[in-house]
Amino acid sequence: MNAVRGYSAAGRRRLRGAAAGLLAAATVLGIGHLVAVLIDPAASPFYVLGATMVDHTPHALKDAAIRRFGSHDKLALFVSMAAVMALGAMLAGLLERRRPIGSALLIGLGVVTVAAAMARPTATPWFAVPTIVGILAGIVALRVLTTGSPTLRTPEPNSLSRRRFLLSAAAVGALAVSAAATGKWLGTRLHDIVADRARFVLPRTARPAPAVAEAVQPPVDGITPFLTSADRFYRVDTALQVPALSSGDWRLRIHGMTDRTVEFDMDRLRTLPAVERIVTLTCVSNEVGGELAGTARWLGYPLADLLAAAGVHPDADMLLSRSIDGFTAGTPVSAILDGRDALLAIGMNGAPLPIVHGYPARLIVPGLYGYVSATKWVVDLELTRFDAARAYWTDRGWADRAPIKTASRIDVPAAFATVPAGPVTVAGTAWAQRRGIAGVQVRVDDEPWQSATLAAEYSIDTWRQWTWQWNATPGNHTLRVRAVDGRGEPQTEQRTPPFPSGSTGWHSRVVTVR
Closer of 245 and 479 to ligand MTE (Cβ): 245
**Antiparallel, parallel or unpaired: β 378-384 and 252-256:** parallel
Cβ proximity to Mo ion, 186 vs 399, nearer residue = 399
By the rule CB under 6 A, 463 interacts with ligand MTE: no
CB atoms within 10 A of CB 207: 12
Pure H helices in 333-414: 333-337
> Rule CB under 6 A: which of 260-299 touch ligand MTE?
281, 283
89 Rama sector, left if φ>0, alpha if ψ -120 to 50, beta otherwise: alpha
Contacts with ligand MTE, 215-254, as mask; x by CB under 6 A: ------------------xxxxxxx---------------
Report the residue from 114, 116, 129, 283 that binds Mo ion according to the rule CB under 5 A.
283
How far apart are CB 376 and ligand MTE at their closest, in Å?
4
Query: Which of these ranges, 32-40, 178-186, 205-213, 372-380, lies near ligand MTE under the rule CB under 6 A?
Result: 372-380
* Contacts of residue 221, Cβ cutoff 8 Å, sequence gap at least 6: 412
CA angle at 483 for the pair 479 and 486, rounded to the nearest 5°: 165
Alpha-carbon distance 194 to 244, whole Å? 9
C-beta atoms surrounding 453 within 10 Å: 12
Residue nearest to ligand MTE (CB): 370
407 binding Mo ion? (CB under 5 A): no
User: Which of ligand MTE, Mo ion, none interacts with 319 (beta carbon under 5 to 8 A by kind)?
Assistant: none
**CA separation for the pair 297, 356 (Å, rounded):** 16
List binders of ligand MTE among 108-127 (CB under 6 A): none
The values of phi and psi at residue 175, to 5°, are -65, -45
Binding of residue 370 to ligand MTE (CB under 6 A): yes
370 binds Mo ion (CB under 5 A): yes
Q: Which of 33, 120, 297, 376 binds ligand MTE (CB under 6 A)?
A: 376
Q: Which amino acid is at 370?
A: G
**Contacts (CB under 6 A) with ligand MTE, residues 131-160:** none
- The answer to whether 399 contacts Mo ion (rule: CB under 5 A) is no
Q: How far is the CB of 398 from ligand MTE (least distance, A)?
A: 9
Q: What's the CA gap between 457 and 464, in Å, rounded?
A: 6
Q: Are 485 and 495 in contact (CB under 8 A)?
A: no
Contact footprint for Mo ion (CB under 5 A)? 236, 283, 370-371
Instruction: Please report, as ranges, the residues that interact with ligand MTE according to CB under 6 A.
Output: 233-239, 281, 283, 323, 325, 327, 357, 370-371, 374-377
